[in-house]
Every structure is written in structure tokens, then in C-alpha cells.
Structure 1
Amino acid sequence: MYVTILICALITFFLRAFPFLCFRKKEMPLWLSLLSKQLPPAIMSILVLYCLKEFVHFSSAGISQGLAAIVVIISYKWKHNTFFSIFLGTICHMLFLHLI
């Protein structure tokens, strides 16, 4: 059991350290810097669309998800704090889910 944990820890450490080992003394390639700017918004868009798939059916869960998403957008535009927006959106989703 301890050997398995050690192997998993070493693999995890290597995967985390690999980019730093590859690019420690030279500049990142252009394609990689472009990818690092485009990939996070693309991933977030896919996650948002996946989370809002129930919203199309106008079920109670879908409506609460849509309202919570609106709360997240407004709170992020207001405070520019990701943690606060996610926390507030989760609380609102749970409240709307039980109230609607």
C-alpha cells in the first residue's frame, strides 16, 4: 500500500514539475503562449454550457441553474473575485432549487 502511494506521489510530482523542467531557461514557444491564453476561456465555456444543459428544459433545476448563473455573472462583474462568485452562485443555486 505504501509503495502505491509513493508511486502515485512521484508521478503527480513529475507531472507538475515537467513544464518547469522543460521551459526553465528558454522562452515559451509562440504556439504554447497562444494556447495558454485561449484554452482557459474555451474550457470554461464548455463547462458552463454543460452545467446549463438542464436550463433548456425549463425544469426547476434548470431555472435555478440559470438564476444562479446570472448571480455569478453579476457578482463577478461587481467584485472581480472568483471565489466569492462561485460561493454566492452555489448558495443561490441551492436556495433557488429548494424554493422553486
Structure 2
Amino acid sequence: FGSSFPGSVARVLTLCFVPMEGLDQGALLQLQAVLEQQKQYCKLSSQCFQACVASPGTSLVSSQQRCLWRCAQRYVETQHFIQKYSDDQVKNGRWDLSTAIG
């Protein structure tokens, strides 16, 4: 897989062909993390493309490229802010994750 796919995709494909019962906890967590990254990437791509490209063509004009770049930056910065805020809330005891899960 490594020669024709980027690293993360190759790892997912490699893990997909291993029986689940053969995976240790670390491999399952790695697969889950890679799949979550792919899910976020698809969500970001879809949202920004819909917001920035009214009528798709064979290429993007510079204003569409700028819009996509800014949209992606806002998305990443917002995700970072939310993660930091959430971590701070848990760290300071304002949120109790043990009661929120389940």
C-alpha cells in the first residue's frame, strides 16, 4: 500500500485488512484517530467548498482559493479553541467527563 497511497491512508488500508481480533488496543486507537482525522478533513472540505465555490469548474479562481484557505483556517482555529476550552474546563473541574459519558 505504501507506494500508491499517502502514509495515513496506507496505515488505514493496512489496518483494514488485519482481522479486528488480531489488533491490540494501540492499533485500534491509531485506526480510530486516523479515521477521525479523515472524517474531519471530509467535513471541512465539504463545508468550505459549498461556501466558497458557487459553480464548480475545471479550476478555482484566486478568490475561491482565498475563500477556501480562509475557511479552512477559521475551521482549524475554531476546533483548536474548542479543544483548548474543553480541556481547560475539565482541568479546572468545571466539567466531569465521567458523568457525561454513558
Query: Structures share a fold, TM > 0.5?
Result: no
Q: TM-score, normalised by structure 2?
A: 0.32
TM-score of the superposition, structure 1-length normalised? 0.33
Larger Rg: 1
Which is richer in helix? Answer: 1
